[in-house]
Amino acid sequence: MSYPSLATRTAVVTGAASGMGAATARLLAAGGARVALLARRTDRLDALAAELTAAGGQALAVTADITDQSSVDAAAKAVHDAYGLVDLVINNAGVMLPNPLTEGRLDEWTRMIDTNLTGALRVIRAFAPDLAAAAADGRTADLVNVSSIASHVLFPDYAVYGATKAALTQLSAALRTELGPRDVRVSTIEPGLTDTELSGHIDNAELRGQLDGMFTTIPALTAEDIADLIAYTVSRRRHVNLRQSIVLPTRQA
C-alpha cells in the first residue's frame, strides 16, 4: 500500500538494522520520506541505506547505541546536520530477554530497561523539540513508540520485559498530555507474535523452545505488517491521533 503523504516527511527510525525497523524504513523511503536509520550494526545500516538509495529513496545511516547518551547526542547532531529538523520519530529499538525472575539476571534486566525504556526516553529527549517545532509550523508531527502485547498480557518468565513495555505504553499515554496540546501526535504500536530477530536473543533453551512452538502453531505477523500499520498511523490527517494499536496474529487474538 502506498501513502503519498509520506513524501513530505523527515523520519528517524531506531532499531533500523533489522526486523520492524528495517521494514518501516523501507516503506517510509518508498513513500518519499527522508529516513535516518539508527542502530548499532554499521554494516547492516550501510547496506540498508545503499538499498534504499538505489531504489530512489533518501536514507542516512547513523550508527548509534541508544543505551549511551553521548551516542544518541552524536546521532541527533548527524541527523540535524544532514536533514535539519525531523517530524517523525519511530522508537522501535528493543530487546527481549526472558528468564525466571528468581534467577536474578541483573545483566538482562539492565539491558532491557536501558534499551526498551531509558533508550526510548533518550531518543524522545533528542527529537521532541523537533516535533514541537514542526507542529508549530503547521506540519504533521509524530512520535511512534513500538511497545508489545506483553504490556497487557502476562507471560511467565517475561516479567521484566513486560514491565519495560508496560512502562513504554504508560509513557506514551503521559506524553500525549504534554505533546498533544502542542499538536504532536503520540502513538503506541503493540504487536503480538511477530517474526523478527527478537527471539534470537533468548539464551534460555526451554523458553526459546516454547517460543519456537508458538511460531509453529500460529502464523505470525511479519515485520512488513507492522511497518504498514505504522505508515498508516502516521499518514492520517494531522488532527487525527491513532493513539494505541494492538495488532495480533488472528490465531493469537
Range of the domain at 110: 4-247
pLDDT at 83: 98
Residues 194-217 have a mean pLDDT of: 84
Task: Answer yes or no: is 18 within a domain.
Answer: yes
Residue by residue, DSSP assigns 160-225 as HHHHHHHHHHHHHHHHHHHHGGGT-EEEEEEE-SEESGGGGG---HHHHHHHHHHHHHS--EEHHH
* 111: in domain: yes
pLDDT of residue 252: 93
**Active-site entry in 3, 158, 161, 232:** 161
Task: Please provide the average confidence, as pLDDT, over all residues in the chain.
Answer: 95
Q: Does 167 fall in a domain?
A: yes
Q: What is the CATH number of the domain that holds 103?
A: 3.40.50.720
Condensed to tens digits (0 to 9), the pLDDT of residues 84-135 reads 999 999 999 999 999 999 998 999 999 999 999 999 999 999 999 999 999 9
Residue 219 pLDDT more than 90?
A: yes
Residues 124-139: pLDDT tens digits? Answer: 999 999 999 999 999 9
Q: Specify if 16 maps to a domain.
A: yes
| Count of structural domains, the chain | 1
Q: Is residue 252 part of a domain?
A: no
Query: pTM higher than 0.85 for the full model?
Result: yes
158 is a catalytic site residue: no
For residue 253, being part of any structural domain is answered with no
Whether the per-residue pLDDT at 198 is higher than 80: the answer is no
Q: What pLDDT is recorded for position 49?
A: 98
Residue range 242-252: mean pLDDT, rounded:
96
Q: What is the pLDDT of residue 202?
A: 81
Whether 45 shows a pLDDT value over 80: the answer reads yes
- Whether residue 7 is predicted with pLDDT greater than 80 in this model: the reply is yes
In a domain, 137, yes or no: yes
> Does a structural domain hold residue 135?
yes
